[in-house]
A and B are shown apart, each in its own frame.
Chain A
Amino acid sequence: DAGITQSPRYKITETGRQVTLMCHQTWSHSYMFWYRQDLGHGLRLIYYSAAADITDKGEVPDGYVVSRSKTENFPLTLESATRSQTSVYFCASRTGREQYFGPGTRLTVT
């Protein structure tokens, strides 16, 4: 039972490149979320999805794109990476009140 997985776990990319971070959950939870974690800011919501084909912006959506064609997958794309997007990215899914987080992807933009 894998739960929620993220790939890759580590990524280094250059400014201007497109990067896609993958998130997969095995529970069929309706809600999924993408957060970024930066020192001093905690976890900030980028985008969330209430169901397949339903997505909405969070606190810091600029520079990011999401899609959700299947319930179990919620990829996050940085269309043109910038150094300010260097961060640790967490995907989460929710059932009831509790959010279940993946292990995170550490992204470095050089």
Chain B
Amino acid sequence: GENVEQHPSTLSVQEGDSAVIKCTYSDSASNYFPWYKQELGKGPQLIIDIRSNVGEKKDQRIAVTLNKTAKHFSLHITETQPEDSAVYFCAASLGASYDKVIFGPGTSLSVIP
């Protein structure tokens, strides 16, 4: 079955710097890769996603890149702000359908003012 690994588990950056979170997946059939942000005491919320036919996607300060050959994808946050502090989860679809996704273990991001 699918296995999703995520690194680092914790990340501290200065406000204004960039943050990068990396994930790998094992199932070559996976074709959908969402990223969720979880603020303290709340449920996760989708922030960006990418399909396997796209190598990169950007939405304002966040971007995701996908390397299907290497089976890894990354989240990039530029010009970080204190409100970016949260736990970030990557995920990969189970097979070619996004009916189910498998989540990585999460990265706790702290942005230091």
Residues on A facing B (Cβ under 8 Å)? 31, 35, 40-45, 48, 50, 58-59, 90, 92, 97-99, 101-104
Which residues of A lie under 8 Å from residue B105 when comparing CB positions? 40-42
Q: Which B-chain residue is minimally distant from A40 (CB atoms)?
A: B105
Return chain B residues, CB-CB under 8 Å to A35.
Answer: 103
Bound state CA distance, A42 and B7, in angstroms? 12
The segment from B13-21, B42-50, B78-86 found at the interface with A is B42-50
**Per-position binary interface string of chain B over residues 32-54, scored 1 when its CB falls under 8 Å from any chain A CB and 0 otherwise:** 10101000011111100100000
- Give complex CA distance A102, B106 in Å: 18
Does B43 lie within 8 Å of A103, measured CB to CB?
yes
Residues A43 and B103 in contact, CB atoms below 8 Å apart: yes
Complex contact B46–A43 (CB within 8 A): no
Starting from the known contacts A48-B100, A59-B1, 8 additional A-B residue pairs (CB-CB under 8 Å) come to A35-B103, A42-B6, A42-B103, A48-B99, A50-B99, A90-B44, A97-B98, A103-B42
15 contacts between A and B (CB under 8 A): A35-B103, A42-B4, A42-B6, A42-B103, A48-B99, A48-B100, A50-B99, A59-B1, A97-B34, A97-B49, A98-B34, A99-B36, A99-B46, A102-B43, A103-B43
